Amino acid sequence: MNINERFIVFAGSKAGGSQRIPIPFDLEIGQDVEVNIKGHNFTFYVVKQENFDNQDGTINSVSILKSLLE
């Protein structure tokens, strides 16, 4: 299946994970990811990968990130 869209979601977000941020590349479980928020760098890691079937032969891929500070 082809990937239609890729997103990241931050684990434990107050929005319940509904704030998806589009990304143009694949991530893997356990991978460290540097995120820049208002000029400050934070390290997150990928804790889960979910794929959602769009019923048109494509999927949306969602990587769930968790902060190393938690």
pLDDT tens for residues 17-70? 557 899 999 999 999 999 898 999 999 999 999 999 999 999 999 999 998 875
- pLDDT-derived band at 16 (thresholds 50, 70, 90) equals low
**66 near 13, Cβ under 8 Å?**
no
pLDDT value of residue 40:
94
Find the domain containing 22 and state its range: 2-67
Q: Which pTM value belongs to this model?
A: 0.81
15: pLDDT strictly greater than 60: no
pLDDT value of residue 19:
79
Both tokens of 35, joined, read 């995120």
Give the E-state strand segments of the chain in sequence order. 2-10, 21-22, 32-37, 40-53, 58-67
| Diameter over CA atoms, the chain | 39
- Number of domains into which the chain is organized: 1
